[in-house]
Amino acid sequence: MARQFNELVKDFNGIRSYARDFYINGYKQREDFQEKSLRSYDNERRRIESYLSEYIQWEQTPQGKSLRLEVTEQLTTNPFFRLWQTKSFTKNDIFLHFVLLDCLVTTSPQSLPQLIDLIHTNYLNQLKEPFYLTDITIRNKVKEYCQLGIFEELESDKRILYQLKPMIDLPEELHDLLHFFKEVAPAGVIGQFLLNQQPPSTSPFTFKHHFIVHSLDEQVVLTTLVGIQEQRLLHLEQFNGRESTIVPMALYVSTETGRQYLIGQLMRPNSLTSIRIDGIKELSLGSPVTDYQLYRSAFEKKKNRVWNSSFNQQRLKSLKVTLRIEEGPEDYLMTRLKREQRMGRSRRLDPQSVVFEIELTDLYAINPFLRTFIGRIIAIESTDRNWQEQFIDDLDQLISLYSTKEVNDEP
């Protein structure tokens, strides 16, 4: 008789890796899979499809079957949250899960010996085909559920008692807040878990820019935030095999791509760096950093010199851009400029023009922002001549590309 396939997730990092490589980053086929055997690929693909089946499309090409993740409608709930609600378990796990809950939901707080006695007397001995559970197996499960927040410990007459931890009851007016938080905030899956404990409710939100794939990295994000809050070292291993130890400073999230970056100091002088969260395979907490505030002070000085998450040791370069923004009818552009200029400064030069000034270690990082003002740039002045020449040359090429009068109709 063929062995029944188990759809349960055993190692979330494996699912995280497969989901990213085959459904997000892109369009690999079965023959492109080189990490393990092709059978492993088939198994993991079936697992993912069992949770995301309505979002997975495929097509047959001359090269073989090609899979992709396709989300066409506006979502109110991130479908990747489903992967976080899966877990493998044994026969003992599933038995103890329901039995322990039944013991504590119908009785007063119980000690571990009382729980063990109840399980043997009221459950195991009542089975037609009883099986044996050791005391240490029960004790480990109780300890695990305390760590997960399902049970809580009480001390009474020098004894440790256990009881069910009350579910979080949130006011109904906070439900909309959780619906928003879970879709836009780092570690938003926590909001989903909180909503799972509340009566069903419908989200009032839809999102134009919805970065759903980053929910695969929620555990790494949560560990990063704990490391920052508790001022502890982080030991990390990246998917490329590189290992390092870092003093965490901040978590940066791009509003353009949704990508998340761990910003921190490597254990050597002048080594402030950024590491993409989706490139981190394993992340664990280390020891507290005794001189954390020294690292923090250095970071605070440098963070206002960079436009994005790219930190380097280059000297500051100044940039001055004159923009055509008419006073009155185009005040909305001035509002946008002040909202998005970050550490820059803007001021009106005359009723027709505005000056934007900034100092950065890497001017190339600001290019995407400046390109949104193409057609309004009157003049550019910079102490970085190489950058200025490159930026103007790119604009010249763009103009020549779109101003060509002859059209080539050949395929």
Q: What is the pLDDT of residues 88-126, one digit of tens each?
A: 778 888 899 999 999 998 778 999 999 999 999 999 988
Distance CA 218, CA 243 (A): 20
Q: Per-residue confidence at 36, pLDDT binned at 50, 70, 90?
A: low
pLDDT at position 21 over 80 = no
For residue 76, the model assigns a pLDDT of 82
pLDDT at position 53 over 90 = no
Q: Per-residue confidence at 9, pLDDT binned at 50, 70, 90?
A: low
Q: Is 1 exposed, middle or buried, given 0-12, 13-18 or 19+ CB atoms closer than 10 A?
A: exposed
What are the strands, taking DSSP E only, across 296-391?
Answer: 317-324, 345-350, 353-360, 377-382
For residue 4, the model assigns a pLDDT of 47
For residue 406, the model assigns a pLDDT of 52
Size (the chain), residues? 411
Distance CA 128, CA 124 (A): 9
At CA 56, angle to CA 50 and CA 59, rounded to 5?
125
Q: Per-residue confidence at 411, pLDDT binned at 50, 70, 90?
A: very low
pLDDT at position 3 over 70 = no
Distance CA 162, CA 107 (A): 11
Distance CA 185, CA 194 (A): 14
Is the backbone of residue 44 left (phi > 0), alpha (psi -120 to 50) or beta? alpha
For residue 391, the model assigns a pLDDT of 94
Kindly report the backbone phi and psi dihedral angles of residue 233, in degrees, each rounded to the nearest multiple of 5, phi listed first: -65, 150
For residue 332, the model assigns a pLDDT of 95
Q: Per-residue confidence at 132, pLDDT binned at 50, 70, 90?
A: confident
Any idea which of 82-91, 281-290, 308-317 has the lowest mean pLDDT? 82-91
For residue 334, the model assigns a pLDDT of 94
Q: Diameter of the chain by CA atoms? A: 92
Segment 331-336 mean pLDDT: 94
pLDDT at position 266 over 80 = yes
pLDDT at position 5 over 50 = no
pLDDT at position 375 over 70 = yes
- Tokens in use for 58? 């495929």
* Distances 404 to 375, 397, 411 between C-alpha atoms, Å: 18, 11, 17
Any idea which of 209-213, 267-271, 281-285, 370-374 has the lowest mean pLDDT? 267-271
Any idea which of 153-157, 225-229, 244-248 has the lowest mean pLDDT? 153-157
Residue with tokens 């097509």: 59
Which residue has better confidence, 28 or 249?
A: 249
Distance CA 100, CA 102 (A): 5
pLDDT at position 400 over 70 = yes
Could you tell me what percent of the chain has a pLDDT over 70?
A: 88
For residue 23, the model assigns a pLDDT of 63
Distance CA 70, CA 15 (A): 18
Report which listed range, 16-20, 164-168, 354-358, is most confident. 354-358
Q: Find the DSSP H helices in 36-109.
A: 38-52, 81-84, 91-105
Sign of torsion over alpha carbons 305, 310, 311, 312: negative
Fill in the amino acid letter for 42: D
Distance CA 348, CA 331 (A): 11
For residue 2, the model assigns a pLDDT of 41
Beta-carbon contacts of residue 41 (< 8 Å; ≥ 6 apart): 18, 30, 33
- pTM equals 0.77
Q: What is the mean pLDDT of the chain?
A: 85
